Amino acid sequence: MDQHAQALAGFKAYLKALGKTKAELLTMAADLANGLDDVTITSISGDGTASSGQLSLLPRELKISAIMEVYQEGNAPRQLASIIDRSLYASPL
């Protein structure tokens, strides 16, 4: 698994663990599409000669893709059936 695929899988798992609503996921995607969250400036020198920041491992497009995949999957928990009716299906034997 390459570095981007591994980071994408981890980001999707993180999003699912957050339990965000669909509206919150769309807001995150919109913020990314509008250019937010590309670079985080961590410090600026007082002399004006240096500044530092942090680039994210995943490109913005991949983050948007991951958010939209989680959005489409939904975050509803699995539902267990109380009654299973198999009368419409023939037995494989």
Residue-range domain boundaries for the chain: 3-73
Q: For the chain, list the strands marked E by DSSP.
A: 39-44, 51-55
Beta bridge partner(s), residue 55: 39
Q: Which of the residue ranges 21-25, 37-41, 53-57, 61-65 would you say has the lowest mean pLDDT?
A: 37-41
Beta bridge partner(s), residue 16: none
Burial of 8 (0-12, 13-18, 19+ CB in 10 A): buried
Average pLDDT over residues 35-54: 62
Whether 24 has a pLDDT exceeding 80, the answer reads yes
Average pLDDT over residues 40-48: 63
Beta bridge partner(s), residue 39: 55
